[in-house]
Structure formats: structure tokens, C-alpha cells
Amino acid sequence: MRPAEKFLVELGISVPDDIDIDAIAYCAGAEVDYRKLVGCEAQIIGRKDKAIIYVQKNARQTRRRFSAAHELGHWHHHRGQSFVCRPEDIGRPIDQTSKNVERIADAYAADLILPRFMITPKLEALDEFSFHELIDLAGTFSASVTATAIRAVRMTREPVILVAHNLFGKRWQWPSVTAMGLSVRSDVDPRSTAFRMLSAEGKLVPPRKEPASYWFERRHIEQFDIRAQSMTTVEGESLTLLRIMDQELIDIYAH
Ligand SMILES: [Zn+2]
């Protein structure tokens, strides 16, 4: 179990509703103060075994929660140091194996807000691995859909890839363990559901079948179809869940 999950267990927290970040912070010797901040999203000032965490009051609730948890990550891993975290430092969905202090704090925050031991049984109980279910799950954990979807994709054995686009192309992707080695093309195909969602704020469309060539740039890949479901995020990007329907596509192209 990772440090944040261990801490939850020590505190006797076993259900999502009890993940009260302010109370957890208090137990770690930190007080969270929500106030208007200029030029940063959150900060922590620590001294000996006490800390004060400031979090941007104007942010969305899921964002405030993640930011406070991110600062608790700094408190756990980088005790004795103070941090001023900009919006781009917190919750960046890129390589979680990075040793960058911000990524380490993010990983701690994700473990605290979306702990594996609570998510596992819920993932197993899902009827279908789709955004409809993941949006529900995000609500259960008071987390953003993006953070929840990344967590779920990294835990499932379904052959899926989560990919985010803006109009300039692919921003990032997370393949599940069974789709590892597949890389979505770096541009956004105007025929794809991802492209259409970029101009449809707040929308979610049902999964649909599309030629794999809309998503991958590989020789002869047009012989395969994939299923794609896209939605727009509050950041104005499109988030797509790609399901590989054919094991052969993975066997040929995943390397
Ligand atoms: Zn930080």
C-alpha cells in the first residue's frame, strides 16, 4: 500500500464519503485555509511538525480538494520545505513515474482522493467501462472525471486508452496495461468523435465505432475498427476513451 492509502487506513477511513481532506490534513498537523490567491493555486508553509496550507478559494470543489491533497503530498514527501504551486504544477496528467516534486505530490493526492483499495471493488462492479460509469464514480469520490478516468484506466485489464486532445492535437494518453505500447496519433482527425467534441462544451456522446485509422497512424490499420467515446472537459479539451475491440490489433501494433 502506498503512503496516502496507509494513512487512510490508519485513520480508519474505508469509504469515499469519509475522505474529508480538511480533517485528514488536521490529523497530519496541517491546517487548510481556502482564500483568494494570486499567481498560484495552492501553497504550503511548514515549520517543524505543523503546516498551513492555502488553497485557491475560487477554484471548483474537485480542484480545491485535489490541490489541498497535493500540498499534503508535499508535506508527506518534502517535509520542512515550503512550496508555492502554480495551476500547471497541480494535477498534470503526465508520467507518474517522474521524480519531479510536483508529480510526486500529485501521485500522493491521487492516492488520497482515489485510493486503489476503495476503487477496485467499484471497478469490478461496473457494468461497462464507459464515461457514464466513470462520471458516476468521479461523483462518488468528489474527484474530477479526468483524474478518475486516469485512475480507472491504469487499474483495469480492459484494453482501453484514455486520450486528451485540444485543437492542436493530442495532449496526453494513458493506455491500460493490456493496451500498453499503442500510441495514438499526435494530430486530431477531423472525422473523429474527439474532434467533433472540441466544439461541443459539456457534452458526452455514446460510444461509437470508428476506423482505427482515425486514431492510429500505422500501415494497414484501417482494417480494424475501434470504439470511441468522447466528452468535453471543463478545461475545454476532449477526453476520449478508446476501446480496442480486436486482440489482433494489439498483437500486431503494440510494441
Ligand atoms: Zn506542488
Most confidently predicted of 6-15, 164-173, 225-234: 6-15
CA of 118 to the centre of ligand 1 (A): 25
Q: What is the pLDDT of residue 96?
A: 58
User: Can you tell me the mean pLDDT for 99-119?
Assistant: 93
Residue bearing cell 515549520: 47
Distance from the alpha carbon of residue 170 to the mean position of ligand 1, in angstroms: 25
Average pLDDT over residues 217-222: 94
Mean residue pLDDT of the chain comes to 93
d(CA 207, CA 69): 33
Q: Which residue has the cell 485489464?
A: 157
- Which letter, b or e, does each residue of 124-153 get, where b requires 16 or more Cβ atoms within 10 Å of its Cβ? eebeebbbbbbeebbebbbbbbbbbbbbbb
Tell me the pLDDT tens digit for each residue of 47-91: 888 999 999 999 999 999 999 999 999 999 999 889 999 998 998
Band (94; pLDDT cuts 50, 70, 90): low
- The answer to whether residue 202 scores a pLDDT higher than 90 is no
pLDDT recorded at residue 255: 78
Cα 79 to averaged position of ligand 1 atoms, centre (Å) = 12
CATH architecture of 117-253: 2-Layer Sandwich (3.30)
Q: Where are the domains of the chain?
A: 3-113, 117-253
pLDDT at 48: 87
Q: What percent of the chain has pLDDT over 90?
A: 83
Amino acid in the structure at residue 85: C
| Per-residue pLDDT band at 95 (split at 50, 70, 90) | low
Overall average pLDDT of the 114-128 stretch: 94
What CATH number is given for 3-113 in this structure?
1.10.10.2910
Neighbours of ion ligand 1 (CB under 5 A): 83, 85, 89, 102, 105
**pLDDT per position as a tens digit, 137-168:** 999 999 999 999 999 999 999 999 999 999 89
Distance 37 CA to ligand 1 centre (A): 15
CA–centroid distance, 223 to ligand 1, in Å, is: 45
Cα(103) to ligand 1 centroid in Å equals 8
pLDDT at 174: 93
- pLDDT confidence tier of residue 99, bands split at 50, 70 and 90: confident
| 191 Cα to the center of ligand 1, angstroms | 38
- Mean of the pLDDT values across residues 209-236? 93
Pairwise CA distance, residues 106 & 126, whole Å: 26
Q: How far is the CA of 168 from the centre of ligand 1 (A)?
A: 27
Q: What is the DSSP string of the chain?
A: --HHHHHHHHTT--SGGG--HHHHHHHTTEEEEEE--SS-SEEEEEETTEEEEEEETTS-HHHHHHHHHHHHHHHHHSTT--EEE-GGGSS--S-TT---HHHHHHHHHHHHHS-HHHHHHHHHT-SS-SHHHHHHHHHHTT--HHHHHHHHHHH--S-EEEEEEETTEEEEEEE-GGGTT----SS--TTSHHHHHTTSTT-B---EEEEGGGT---TTGGG-EEEEEEEE-TTS-EEEEEEE--HHHHHHH--
Percent of all residues in the chain with a pLDDT value above 70, rounded to a whole number? 97
